[in-house]
Amino acid sequence: MNNLNLGDEIRKLKEEKNAVIMCHYYVEDEVQDIADYIGDSFFLSRKATEIEADVIVLCGVRFMGESAKALNPGKVVLLPAEDADCPMAHMATVEAVEEMRKQYDDLAVVCYVNSTAELKAASDVCVTSANALKIVSRLSNKNIFFIPDQNLAHYIADQLPEKNFIFNDGYCHVHHTITKDAIVKMKEKYPKAEVLVHPECKPEVCAMADYIGSTSGIINYVKDSSNEEFIVVTERGVLYELGLQTTGKKFYTTQMAQVCPNMKKITLEKVYNALKNMEPKVEMPDELIEGARKPMEKMLELAK
């Protein structure tokens, strides 16, 4: 089947199974095209609590499917690419969390949603890149153990000097490998371009930014900006939505790859197969669902 036919077949199956398709901006363009809902991690989490359909097809990596399932235990959540997993989601341990709880009184364990359900269940509250600053600033705790991403942690810690941050050494390989030098080179080539950076990048890269924010934050910034050129420092999938939402603006990326290989595992064919066969499903024990849901719900509450 070609992509056009696949798109039609997916639409038919969606009706038949009473399903909705949710996509992150980092998936392939043709998959973004069939989304009912597309957004950043925060949007996808919040939206998952409002879905009335029986089935959610989550076009993203595993932690996104797990989050949707934890917030919707009664629904079927399909993850079209079963092996699409975020390496950073595993870059902290429950043992380290337990150890920190012994070492520090007045500790909040803050878990970036880009994490396994087990890590979420061991934490007090989840955050996304769009709401981390707001949520951490609303916590009464002085000590913050922020897992798993060191870069987002540093970005937030710098803005909240009254808190004592304990850092974990996880990182997103897509953002962490982008160098300051790569931005300097692009700036030399396009001096008028504004630099838009995702906070999963290293502090020295964030320091080069005109704007730092989540994928949705970057898109909104571009829409509101009178500038016409932008150096976009996040996964390149976001360029598709930027192109759709704007006219006449120019977008550049660095010479680095800026590609998340796991997000790119989701294809139209896999979405079609998932809906046709109703698998692979996200399955988790009830206890884990319950454990992961609590810090996610706390995030949704504190983000209001």
Q: Applying CB under 6 A, which residues contact ligand SF4? A: 26, 61, 86-88, 114, 172-174, 235, 260, 262-263
Least distance to ligand 13P, CB of residue 130, Å? 6
80 prior amide bond cis, ω within 30: no
In the complex with ligand SF4, the residue whose CB is nearer, 13 or 35, is 35
In the complex with ligand SF4, the residue whose CB is nearer, 88 or 209, is 88
- Among 27-35, 125-133, 136-144, 287-295, which window interacts with ligand 13P (CB under 6 A)? 125-133
Strands laid side by side in the 143-147 sheet? 125-127, 107-112, 143-147, 164-167
Least distance to ligand 13P, CB of residue 221, Å? 12
CA-closest candidate to residue 24, choices 215, 197, 283, 196: 215
- Among 8-16, 126-134, 184-192, 277-285, which window interacts with ligand 13P (CB under 6 A)? 126-134
The interface partner of residue 262, options being ligand SF4, ligand 13P, none and the CB cut-off 5 to 8 Å by kind, is ligand SF4
Site string for ligand 13P, 150-169 (x = CB under 6 A): --------------------
CA-closest candidate to residue 112, choices 76, 136, 82, 84: 136
Least distance to ligand SF4, CB of residue 161, Å? 26
In the complex with ligand 13P, the residue whose CB is nearer, 136 or 172, is 172
- The neighbour count for residue 228, using CB atoms within 10 Å, is 13
Residues that bind ligand 13P (CB under 6 A): 24, 40-41, 86, 114, 128-130, 172, 200, 214-215
